[in-house]
Amino acid sequence: MLLKPYKIVTAGSQQCNFYLTDCLDLFKQLPAQSVDVIVTSPPYNLGIQYNSYSDTLSRAEYLAWSGTWIAAAARVLRPDGSLFLNVGAKPTDPWTAMDVAQAAREHLRLQNIIHWIKSIAIERSSAGAAAGLTRDLAVGHYKPINSERFLNDCHEFIFHFTPQGSTGLDRLALGVPYQDESNISRWRGAGEGVRCRGNTWFIPYETIQRRDRDRPHPATFPSRLPEQCLRLHGLKRIDVAMDPFTGLGSTAVACARLGVNFIGADLDETYLAEAVTRTRDAYAARAAGTAGATATPATLPARAARMRKAELTSAATKRLAGL
Ligand SMILES: C[S@@+](CC[C@H](N)C(=O)[O-])C[C@H]1O[C@@H](n2cnc3c(N)ncnc32)[C@H](O)[C@@H]1O
CA-closest residue to ligand 1 atom 27 = 247
The preferred substitution site among 208, 227, 243, 245 for testing ligand 1, maximizing ligand atoms within 8 Å of CB, is 245
pLDDT in tens, 142-194: 888 999 999 999 999 999 999 999 999 999 999 998 876 666 566 655 557 89
The preferred substitution site among 267, 269, 272, 278 for testing ligand 1, maximizing ligand atoms within 8 Å of CB, is 267
pLDDT value of position 66: 97
3-state secondary structure the chain: CCCCCCEEEEECCEEEEEEECCHHHHHHHCCCCCEEEEEECCCCCCCCECCCCECCCCHHHHHHHHHHHHHHHHHHEEEEEEEEEEECCECCECCHHHHHHHHHCCCCEEEEEEEEECEEEECHHHHCHHHCCCCCEEEECCECCCCCCCCCECEEEEEEEECCCCCCCCHHHHCEECCCCHHHHHCCCCCCCEECCCCEEECCCCCCCCHHHHCCCCCCCCCHHHHHHHHHHCHHHCCEEEECCCCCCHHHHHHHHHCCEEEEEECCHHHHHHHHHHHHHHHHHHHCCCCCCCCCHHHHHHHHHHHHCCCCCHHHHHHHHCC
pLDDT value of position 215: 61
pLDDT value of position 300: 30
What's the start-to-end Cα distance of the chain, in Å?
Answer: 16
Q: Is the CB of 41 under 6 A from ligand 1?
A: yes
pLDDT value of position 189: 55
CA of residue 252 to ligand 1 center, whole Å: 13
Q: Is the CB of 17 under 6 A from ligand 1?
A: no
* CA–CA dist 54, 274 (Å, integer): 20
pLDDT value of position 27: 98
Please name the CATH architecture into which domain 7-114+157-167+203-321 falls: 3-Layer(aba) Sandwich (3.40)
> Which residues of the chain carry a pLDDT beneath 70?
48, 50, 53, 55, 180-191, 207-219, 291-323
pLDDT value of position 54: 74
Residue from 276, 186, 245 nearest 45 by CA: 245
Backbone angles phi, psi at 243, to 5 degrees: -135, 105
Q: Is the CB of 283 under 6 A from ligand 1?
A: no
pLDDT value of position 191: 57
Inter-helix orientation angle 59-76/96-104, to 10°: 40
pLDDT value of position 316: 38
pLDDT value of position 187: 60
Backbone angles phi, psi at 23, to 5 degrees: -60, -25
CA-closest residue to ligand 1 atom 19 = 22
* CA–CA dist 14, 240 (Å, integer): 10
* CA–CA dist 312, 280 (Å, integer): 12
CA of residue 1 to ligand 1 center, whole Å: 23
Q: Is the CB of 228 under 6 A from ligand 1?
A: no
Q: Is the CB of 69 under 6 A from ligand 1?
A: no
Q: Is the CB of 264 under 6 A from ligand 1?
A: no
CA-closest residue to ligand 1 atom 12 = 245
